[in-house]
Structure 1
């Protein structure tokens, strides 16, 4: 049974290392890591109370961006399926799937199967994408990607719903009378929308079940949370909604090495006190990340967070 995200409390998840290795955040040890290390990290998350593990999505990176982004981007469906088979409770998040690169029925087939095989643990995170050459190589619409994403989310709502023969009629996609099984185990697969631009915030508010901000600092979050609430109220949307954030890099304890100026480190109670500020803003899930020099140090950090920090997040 999939874990819920209780309203009024703060949950925590992690975007896994190794599966994406942009120079903006990858640690040196990740370059030589692979399936065994990913498995260790997923199992650690599963037993340490993490709400989800997450995987990114890029199909191909052009030369002009490879220096910063690298070309290491594991496929999210394949990766999350592998990790689903060796975990029991942790949810599986695409953060984010660039769903405009593929027909909605293809995306629905892949992620419905993942949800079915994992016992209803999928959270589908979606985003517009930003790599022009990737879109062009796949015959996708880069200039119109925002509008494409809007319609794709609508199409995915139908295609991931309970009906064996879903229907959608839009400007770009139309399907009916085409059956897809297996259906997702969840009655409603949560769709979290990524991005912090004005269109992304609007899309999250009006089409999503949650928001995955990208790069917002603490001081910027309250205004955007208020904006999403305003847009949802105006649209008459009263259901539950999960506000998220990506926390500053963390290190539980005193590191004894240079973990960077923005990293939060120290005693578990102090880290929890700092992270509770997000809960006060209305955030309900924080994506945590840790500085580390090896996979073993990272699993130790994750375990320490789950055992020593997490119990104080909702004090």
Structure 2
């Protein structure tokens, strides 16, 4: 059966997807939405990562971006089952030992519910402000994934030597609960696909439309097979915006709306093309409407996904 998760509202407010009500949202809204996701069978809740947005992008991206570790740790305390996904952590902005320490602590505090989603990043000014190398961000991400594997792995005192980073005899405390923290790789460029295939436990596409996904999935599988990697790769997809039922307001022509069986029929296409988990987003005018939509999806649509 195809699993379903969601990006949290409020914590990132890009004009591409944020609803107007989120501008006045806060911790109470996040906690309520996370609690509904926890009770309604959502596989994960996700938080984004940007340290600072430059003026040239502020109009489109906004400047509201909560820290993912702090946000997910806060919500770990008010949930019990739902997994906690960074979608995605721009790990090249920080030293990998800091990243490992933060996310090991998050996994420890949440009882082993972390999924570490990572990506290369795209905002040059963020890298420059932090003294990080924007031009080499892809290479640095490759090295950092290896470093994080070592630091978050089962060995008590991991050792990793990389071209850029060197770790020797550095034990992380507290340790993650999970023996292997899942690392999902974000991005849809050829480099990101190769990275996901060769280094990831999962793939998080960025904006791939439905008609492009089968080709991307086939490439991932081919790269993984050629490398002799037998472990399954969790394939993700971000769906169109959804509205369960007949909306009494204009939800936009790109929104999938209607009765649960019609929505399920449309979303089953993802499973047929090899997708394991879908990230859903609901149109809403308030927190109440959002949580109502989440419940309607979990009760009426999810059981029909097959």
Q: Name the TM-score class by shorter chain.
A: over 0.9
Matched-pair contact (CA < 8 Å) for 2:151–2:171: no
Cα distance in 2 for partners of 1:164, 1:240 equals 26
Cα distance in 2 for partners of 1:75, 1:308 equals 33
Cα distance in 2 for partners of 1:240, 1:187 equals 17
Aligned residue number for residue 123 of structure 1: 115
What 5-or-longer segments of structure 1 have no aligned partner? 1-8
What 5-or-longer segments of structure 2 have no aligned partner? none
2:166 aligned with 1:182: no
Residue 154 of structure 2: SS of its match in structure 1? coil
Matched-pair contact (CA < 8 Å) for 1:164–1:181: no
TM superposition shift of 1:164? 2.6
Cα distance in 2 for partners of 1:263, 1:65 equals 25
Cα distance in 1 for partners of 2:18, 2:28 equals 17
Alignment of 1:5-154 (within 5 A): 9-154=1-146
Deviations 1:12-51 (A, max 9, x none): 0000010000111111000001000000000000001100
Matched-pair contact (CA < 8 Å) for 2:16–2:60: yes
Alignment of 1:253-264 (within 5 A): 253-264=245-256
Cα distance in 2 for partners of 1:74, 1:163 equals 32
Alignment of 1:197-236 (within 5 A): 197-236=189-228
Tell me how many residue pairs correspond in the alignment.
306
Aligned residue number for residue 310 of structure 1: 302
Aligned residue number for residue 258 of structure 2: 266
Residue 249 of structure 1: SS of its match in structure 2? strand
TM superposition shift of 1:166? 1.5
Residue 36 of structure 2: SS of its match in structure 1? helix
Cα distance in 1 for partners of 2:142, 2:224 equals 16
Cα distance in 2 for partners of 1:174, 1:61 equals 30
TM-score by length of 1: 0.96
Deviations 1:160-186 (A, max 9, x none): 101232211011000111221111100
Cα distance in 2 for partners of 1:77, 1:228 equals 29
Cα distance in 2 for partners of 1:41, 1:87 equals 10
2:151 aligned with 1:159: yes
Matched-pair contact (CA < 8 Å) for 2:243–2:283: yes
Matched-pair contact (CA < 8 Å) for 1:77–1:114: yes
TM-score by length of 2: 0.99
2:269 to 274, 277, 287: 277
2:240 aligned with 1:248: yes
TM superposition shift of 1:158? 0.4
Runs of 4+ in 1 over 2 A off after TM superposition: none
Aligned residue number for residue 4 of structure 1: none
TM superposition shift of 1:256? 1.5
Matched-pair contact (CA < 8 Å) for 2:152–2:176: yes
Cα distance in 1 for partners of 2:69, 2:121 equals 17
Deviations 1:169-228 (A, max 9, x none): 011000111221111100110000001011001100000001000010000000000000
Aligned residue number for residue 230 of structure 2: 238
RMSD of aligned residue pairs (Cα, Å): 0.6
Matched-pair contact (CA < 8 Å) for 2:96–2:148: yes
